[in-house]
Amino acid sequence: MRHWTPHELALQLTNSSVSLQILDVRESWEYDIAHLKGSTLIPLGKLAQKMDELDKTRDVLILCHHGIRSAHAGLFLEHHGFHTINLTGGIERWARDIDHTMPLY
């Protein structure tokens, strides 16, 4: 599993040749407060049942609130043949470093 900072992710999102799947493993109430545009919500507790919704041929950028749940999800998905990237600091750090209009919770 690789790790990207919010600045690294922001740079990658400006590159049209990058084809990332963005997976948010928080709960739906958290996702409703703040999320990255184009992200897919699969709460960590449902990941085992729903991982077939993800494309193994594309990198999966995983995020949560602070980066702990996403790290667990990344290890799980790597074990099942996915190539994963954990967003260091999660949506909290994204909001603080990149999108200052995003709500914090």
* b/e map 64-96, b = 16+ CB within 10 Å: bbebebbbbbbebbeeeebebbbbbbbbbbbbe
Rounded Cα distance, 54 and 91, in Å: 20
Q: Kindly report the pTM of this predicted structure.
A: 0.95
What digits encode the pLDDT tens for the residues 3-24? Answer: 999 999 999 999 877 789 999 9
Residue type, 73: A
How far is CA 26 from its chain centroid? 9
Catalogue all structural domains in the chain, each as residue range(s) with its CATH number: 2-97 (3.40.250.10)
Rounded Cα distance, 93 and 90, in Å: 6
What digits encode the pLDDT tens for the residues 32-58? Answer: 999 999 999 999 999 999 999 999 999
Rounded Cα distance, 99 and 90, in Å: 12
